Amino acid sequence: MPEHTDEQAAIFSVLADPTRLKLVKLLQGQRGREALCVNALAQLLGVSQPAVSQHLRVLRSFGLVKGERRGYHIHYFVNGDELEKCRQLASMALSVGDPRGEQLCKEYCPERRQQDVSSL
């Protein structure tokens, strides 16, 4: 079976929620002083502050988002290294033309094996 399948499924699971996906997209451009706090994110997304906090918790636990304390608030931004890793894994999962596909078909498909035997 293909490598990284569990990791790839986890990426899709984390990003399957529209609010989490919007958060990642919104936070991609945030660096340094531009990082956003939960209240700002809630207003920008039109979602409650507790909902944003829960989504950020999931994204943080996966490593996609980092937080930086500034006074009483934590400001969030995307972990660029982890995002790139996720992008590569997702791209691999969605790539077409696996060169092993033809061999696997010959190996496991009864109809295909019959065709190969009868062509000898």
Output the domain CATH number for residue 50. Answer: 1.10.10.10
Q: What's the rounded Cα separation, in Å, for the pair 99 and 102?
A: 7
Structure tokens of 103? Answer: 């061999």
Q: Find, among 15, 34, 17, 106, the residue nearest to 77 by Cα.
A: 34
What mean pLDDT is reported for the chain? 84
Domain carrying residue 80: 5-118
Mean local confidence (pLDDT), 38-61: 95
Q: Find, among 56, 55, 52, the residue nearest to 66 by Cα.
A: 56
Give pTM, 2 decimals.
0.75
pLDDT higher for 20 or 33? 20
Count of domains for the chain: 1
